[in-house]
């Protein structure tokens, strides 16, 4: 491999390695997982529970109680179980 290409790949590899060494406390990691799961549930059950809201709505940590409530109130059993899981 040529030297300039090798230097470039080494530089971007160092950046990726530095970024991947982030540390998260367990509470923040749990919240990130709940937000991700709530977003998936919002998209999956949009026609059943969230039909009056924009389909491309971005779910944040502040939306978790609302998403859980809507899933548990208007959804089927599967939606209710997911709502219970994402409820903070």
Task: Please provide residue 53's backbone torsions phi and psi, each rounded to the nearest 5 degrees.
Answer: -110, 160
Give the span between the Cα atoms of 21 and 29, in whole angstroms. 14
Question: What pTM did the predictor assign?
Answer: 0.72
Domain ranges of the chain: 24-86
- Of the given ranges (11-20, 39-48, 61-70, 73-82), which has the lowest mean pLDDT? 11-20
With bands split at pLDDT 50, 70 and 90, how would you rate the model's confidence at 18?
A: low
State residue 19's pLDDT score. 56
DSSP track, 2-21:
-HHHHHHHHHHHHHHHHHTT
| pLDDT at 32 exceeding the cut of 80 | yes
Residue 47 and residue 70 in contact, taking contact as beta carbons nearer than 8 Å: no
pLDDT digit string, tens, across residues 57-82: 999 999 999 999 999 999 999 999 99
């Amino acid at each position: 491999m040529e030297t300039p290409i090798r230097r470039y790949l080494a530089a971007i590899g160092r950046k990726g390695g530095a970024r991947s060494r982030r540390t998260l406390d367990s509470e923040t990691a749990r919240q990130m997982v709940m937000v991700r799961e709530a977003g998936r549930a919002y998209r999956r059950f949009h026609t059943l529970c969230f039909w009056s809201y924009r389909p491309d709505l971005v779910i944040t940590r502040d939306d978790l109680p609302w998403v859980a409530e809507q899933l548990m109130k208007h959804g089927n059993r599967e939606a209710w179980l997911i709502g219970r899981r994402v409820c903070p």
